Structure 1
């Protein structure tokens, strides 16, 4: 009977659609995993090369980070972004 065939075809299409969303690797399953840095994480005070924590960068008018241990000189925002990237990985 075509009535039952049509009903079964619709049900099969729905089940296949649901199954495709549940498969690993499907675009519908991919979600970003977000890691949030702790609020007390001193990303702009840590040297991205040696890991030394410097208190000189607590002053926000100082825009360059100079590590007293290894001598690295870098913009403080870039240094902070490198530290946050290391934390995320």
Structure 2
């Protein structure tokens, strides 16, 4: 067992739109989603979908990872694959 490179691609398996500001810096509305990884569909990660209007997200939509730095931590966020729409 060891680390392995991944494509960074996935699909939205489930999501919710949060309208309450729970975390400073996360202005509502924002999406919290369960992402099914393309390389290993049994592996899912909970993250945010960014760069898209909440009404434009759908179950099964293809997304790709995008990393955002917060202090000394890089957060894996997801955004729709270019050209993909709900």
Q: Whose strand fraction is larger, Structure 1's or Structure 2's?
A: 2
Q: TM-score, length-normalised on structure 2?
A: 0.24
Q: TM-score, length-normalised on structure 1?
A: 0.23
* Greater radius of gyration (CA): 1
With a CA cutoff of 8 Å and minimum separation of 6, indicate the structure with the bigger relative contact order. 2
